[in-house]
Amino acid sequence: MKHITLAHGAGGAVMQGLIKDKMLKYLDHRSDIQIPLSALDDSAVIDDIAFTIDSHTIKPLFFPGGDIGSLSVSGTINDISVMGARPIALSSAFVIEEGFLLKDLEKILGSMQKTSVQADVPIITGDTKVVEHGAIDKMVITTSAIGKRTELLEENIREVKKYRELNERWIRDSNLKEGDKIIVSGTIGDHGISLLSFRGGYGFESEVKSDVAPLNRMIGEAMKVGGIVSMKDPTRGGLSNTLNELSEKSDVGILIKEEKIKVKEAVRSACEMLGMDALEIGNEGKAVIGVVFEKAEEVLDALRKTKEGKDAEIIGVATNKIKGVAMETIVGGKRIVEAPMGDPVPRIC
Ligand code: MG
């Protein structure tokens, strides 16, 4: 393949290939980084500081439940939070197409401010560039964040070690072990379906709102209970992609139960009509959490007491009895859950 295709940015197997074969080849050349680029975790860690960045090139800019502003702040906060770090500051860089409406820019900035206040993470540095009409599609916002180690993370790790071994100081994709329970913090597929329905042309009107939200407070409540080993936000490629990444990096199978995975009725029917799998659709306000067996129910209760985690559920378990990810279906069968080639809905984040 000579050219970049949309699949190279869609969060699935094709994008993983590009990152591993090209990006890491040139950019990952130091061996002294605590959690390096090659870990392909939600954030890197250097000198005990979590660090992450995200570009947002969403279509449309405004959608039910949010806009590119709330998305760019939430997504970056979430990538820091799932490492067990406390996000302390954000940066934001704007590339804006000539002709962009000032009132739309103000609306987006208002959303960024609101989300930043809600999450209590300030935006403290940034950059603004304008390009000729046609050079980009309206706007790209890039946000970066840093996060600190806290006593909460230390306490969470100590709690894990009461029950099993853990040779790691951070919450990482590679920490899962046989017996750990897998929690999803709520319904899946809301973000991707909300965008798709709003773009129109699909012949259905959906009332689904995006789940976009900063999750640092919810995750903080879960970490107060402790016992969390792995966490990821199931964005591009959805739950399928996230579970496959956890399984591969931790070298353990994951068995989930279809009946435990919550999908809103409107999302379910949209997926049926479009021939899509809700498990592969991106989310922007959910976390997948691996917890030691003994603490899973307690973490679940703590999540359910939060606004973002009220529909949390234990959906499965890490097990050495299988390789990869498999799902017990409602009708009693078992099927393999593969990592999708890419998110079926392009440009969702
Ligand atoms: Mg992430």
Domain extents in the chain: 6-149, 152-336
Start-to-end C-alpha separation, the chain: 25
**Which stretch of DSSP H or E encloses residue 92?**
strand 86-97
The CATH code belonging to domain 152-336 is 3.90.650.10
CA of 232 from ligand 1 middle (Å) equals 6
Say if 6-149 and 152-336 have the same CATH topology: no
pLDDT digit string (tens) for 84-114? 999 999 999 999 999 999 999 999 999 999 9
pLDDT (0 to 100) of residue 179 = 98
**CA neighbours closer than 13 Å in the CB half-sphere of residue 82:** 32
* pTM (2 d.p.): 0.96
Q: Which amino acid is at 291?
A: V
Which stretches of the chain score pLDDT less than 70?
Answer: 200-206
Q: What is the pLDDT of residue 13?
A: 83
Burial class of residue 219 in the structure, from the number of CB atoms within 10 Å of its CB (0-12 exposed, 13-18 middle, 19+ buried): buried
Query: Homologous superfamily of 6-149 in CATH?
Result: PurM-like, N-terminal domain (3.30.1330.10)
Ligand 1 centroid to 83 CA: how many Å? 9
The predicted structure's pLDDT at residue 263? 98
Instruction: Indicate the SS3 state at residue 218.
Output: helix
294 CA → ligand 1 middle, Å: 26
b or e along 247-264 (b: 16 or more beta carbons within 10 Å of the residue's beta carbon)? Answer: bbbbebbbbbbbeebbbb
Residue 323 Cα to ligand 1 middle (Å): 23
Tell me the C-alpha distance between 271 and 193, whole Å.
Answer: 8
Q: How far apart are CA 282 and CA 224, in angstroms?
A: 27
Report how far ligand 1's centroid is from the alpha carbon of 341 (Å): 17
CA–centroid distance, 258 to ligand 1, in Å, is 23
| pLDDT tens per residue across span 271-291 | 999 899 999 999 999 999 999
Total number of residues shown for the chain: 349
How many Å lie between the centroid of ligand 1 and the Cα of residue 302? 22
Contacts of 247 (CB under 8 A, 6+ apart): 176, 253, 254, 318, 324, 325
Q: Which two tokens stand for residue 292?
A: 């030691």
**Token digits of residue 239:** 């739950």
Q: How high is the pLDDT of residue 201?
A: 64
